[in-house]
Amino acid sequence: MTQLPLQQSPEFHNAARALGWPVMRRVLGAREVNLIGRTTPFGRVTLLSRADPPLPEELRTIGGLILVNAETGPCHPGLMALRAPRQHALVELAPKGAMRAGLRQKWRNRLSAAERSRLSTTHGALPPNPDHWLLKAEAAQARRLRYAGWPPALSSAWAKVNRGEARLFEAQLGGRPIAGLVLLRHGPSATYQMSVTTPEGQRMNAMTLLLWRAMCWASKVGCHDLDLGHIDPANAGLTRFKTGTGARIRTLGPTLLWHRSLSALPLGRSHDTRGQAASPHV
């Protein structure tokens, strides 16, 4: 089974269609990709996310303005590199004992403390309910912290059309949830989609425990890797949390722009986009 990023998986296509998003699957060269297209007052804009940089002649079949959040680099001549490559934390899943041995010491200590605590955990399929407490809490958290990502509705749609592939992990104290995590499975891969914890959950390392449970589940069902998402250099605490799992840092490709008017210009550039801000790889 082919390993694909979340945005290029058939499961993403199914969930996006269920939400009524303008998503389509097209053949570019020798591969099939997911594209999201939208008509704006400035013309048609299409997003190709987490795919290898296509050749300009392949993009001509789509037309309009095309943004490519490239999976790899460098880009081909005729595409303009807009933003620097960004980095993701990727856990290579293995048997439980090997993964535990690969944890960083402080992360392992916090996990052990959480396992000895009064916390209890539950795990199961995420209910396809857009009003689930965790989805509402994630939306509120995104507004409060001013970050943008895939909306919580995507997880709800994933649960509805990809049955059993959206997984909910909860930590409870005295019968009430104090932390929650959603994992989305797509083929032999999984993506850490969202998480919310209360101050009490933070003190008790609830999220460390939930992520460990999620890693163990994904490994047990045959996933090869777990994408923990973007590494933000400005958020050292979150970076330490993700890399404490033993995750390796993988550099993706740059954000690229294509339009037929650019094709004749020598605009293609490689990864040498240092000094530019990281792009929102959605």
Q: What is the structure's pLDDT at 263?
A: 59
DSSP secondary structure letters along the chain: -----GGGSHHHHHHHHHTT--EEEEEETTEEEEEEEEEETTEEEEEEEEEPPPPHHHHTTT-SEEEEEESS-PPPTT-EEEEB--EEEEEE---HHHHHHTS-HHHHHHHHHHHHSS-EEEEEEPPS-TT-HHHHHHHHHHHHHT---S-HHHHHHHHHHSTT-EEEEEEEETTEEEEEEEEEEETTEEEEEEEEE-HHHHHTTHHHHHHHHHHHHHHHTT--EEEEEE--TT-HHHHHHHHTTTPEEEE---EEEE-GGGTTS-----S--TTSPBP---
Q: Can you give the pTM of this predicted structure? A: 0.90
Q: What is the structure's pLDDT at 264?
A: 53
Contact 139, 154 (CB under 8 A): no
Q: What is the structure's pLDDT at 1?
A: 62
Q: What angle do CA 186, 10, 48 make, to 5 degrees?
A: 105
Contact 256, 83 (CB under 8 A): no
Q: What is the structure's pLDDT at 155?
A: 97
Q: What is the structure's pLDDT at 271?
A: 35
Q: What is the structure's pLDDT at 149?
A: 86
Q: What is the structure's pLDDT at 176?
A: 94
Residues lower than pLDDT 70 in the chain: 1, 263-282
Residue range 167-207, pLDDT digits in tens: 999 999 999 999 999 999 999 999 999 999 999 999 999 99
Distance CA(34)–CA(36), nearest Å, equals: 7
Distance CA(260)–CA(28), nearest Å, equals: 16
Q: Can you read off the two tokens belonging to residue 113?
A: 């403390």
Residue found under tokens 């303009």: 80
Q: What is the structure's pLDDT at 148?
A: 86
